[in-house]
Chain A
Amino acid sequence: MVEKEVEVVNKLGLHARPAMMLVKTASQFQSEIKIIKDNMNVNAKSIMGVLVLAAEKGSKLKIVAEGPDEEEAVEALAKLFAEGFGEE
């Protein structure tokens, strides 16, 4: 199992477009991937799950992956967050 803490850096937060990017990326991996915010724990491959987090700029999330490609999965998702999903 691999864990990593990330921060939402883009201004608009985790709205529909970034959420879609996140889910698309997560779905390319075989591992089970979870995103944790406060006591909410959602599946990174489910768009509704990611949207319900309603993560605003500055909020801290934890990515947890478990499976054959867990390292790559966490790295790829963390990169999306760090780049602000290509937004300001």
Chain B
Amino acid sequence: MEKLTVEKFYNDRKSALELILLAGAGGLSKPIESREVQRPSMALMGWYEGFAAQRIQVIGRTEITYLQHLDQKQLRETLEKLFSYREIPCVIVSKGIIPPPVMLDVADKANIPLFSSKLATVDLMSKLANWLDVQFAPRIYIHGTMVDVYGVGMLYTGKSGIGKSECALDLVERGHRLVADDVVELRRQSENVLIASGTNLLGHHMEIRGVGIIDIEKLFGIRAIRMQKRVELEVKLVMWEELSDYERIGMETKTTTILGVEIPQVIIPVSPGKNLTAISEVIAMDFMLKVYGENVASTFVERLNEEIKRKSRAREYLREDME
């Protein structure tokens, strides 16, 4: 993965966080190694125990007010002490406050980028935390195809040439949306949410054997694509003859674990002439039924058990019938 630097952060978030680089441009190549944000109030007061220098430091109104009450000598010493922690990736002053000139000077000398943001401190902290969460989320690339079918995120996996792309193409023709083909980036957004997206370079291109590379967005328009989608199901395609033990009733849900997130898995045997599109739509709808609390397979099995019980009651009754 590309290393996360202050420069990348600045380029990426400049407009969203309304950032202005005030000083310390020499430190733009510094790495950001912590996903947490810190307000250095205690540190400014002289208490450095537990101070986490590797975090982005956010200075708000409170800290600035404190600094303003110091005389010039104390102010310089206080700031020099803070900026002597060279692991600090960058410092952001919120609310559009212009910090005292000494701070700019100290930041320049320490080569620690100093930004000003127009956002209110709370807003800035939460937006920063969200962005850092995405950047630090564990991620992997896998070989597969990701399609949104009726709003259900389906990740198709299986060997090369088994028909993942063709299946996705067919689904797109029927109005479903392609997220990524062939190379899917997966990242763990939270404990049980896995998000799939494509790569910048590939976009929504797809290779169809015998045709070559096609661009789904150009061919089918904006409605046929989606930038990212939560992975809700894995559909594993296998050759018919390779698999002898596939699900016949659907009572048990198989699962697979990707980046520590458990995902239900459906294994579909593929044979020539099999309509994977219709099956995919059914899988998606069945998944939705389950999400809404309706398990068709177990309802059916319950009905079957009920019927067996009813018959045996009748049989018992008749057995006692000695008329």
Contact = CB atoms under 8 A, between A and B. Distances in A.
A80 interface: no
A88 interface: no
Interface string A3-28: 00000000000000000000000010
B236 interface: no
B207 A46 contact: yes
Contact of B161 (A45, A49, A51): A45
Interface residues of A, number: 16
B202 A48 contact: yes
Contact of B143 (A38, A39, A43, A47): A43
B1 A39 contact: yes
A1 interface: no
Contacts of B206: 48
Interface in B138-189: 139-143, 159-161, 181-183
Contacts of A45: 160-161
A32 B160 CA distance: 9
Contacts of A46: 143, 160, 182-183, 207
Nearest to B1: A39
Of listed B140, B142, B183, B202, residue having the most chain A CB within 10 A? B183
Contact of B140 (A32, A41, A43, A52): A41
A82 interface: no
A64 interface: no
A39 B186 CA distance: 12
Given A38-B1, A41-B141, A42-B141, A52 B183 contact: yes
Chain B interface, >50% SS class: strand
B140 A49 contact: no
B141 A40 contact: yes
B202 A51 contact: yes
B219 interface: no
B213 A42 contact: no
B182 A49 contact: yes
Contacts of B181: 48
A41 B1 CA distance: 11
A54 interface: yes
A32 B82 CA distance: 54
A68 to B, nearest CB: 14
A52 to B, nearest CB: 5
A41 B140 CA distance: 8
B318 interface: no
B226 interface: no
Given A27-B160, A38-B1, A54-B201, A48 B140 contact: no
Given A42-B141, A48-B205, 13 more contacts: A32-B159, A39-B1, A39-B140, A42-B182, A42-B183, A43-B160, A46-B143, A46-B182, A47-B207, A47-B213, A48-B182, A48-B183, A52-B183
5 contacts: A39-B1, A47-B207, A48-B181, A51-B201, A52-B183
Q: Closest 10 CB pairs between A and B?
A: A48-B182, A45-B160, A43-B143, A52-B183, A48-B207, A39-B1, A52-B202, A40-B141, A47-B207, A52-B199
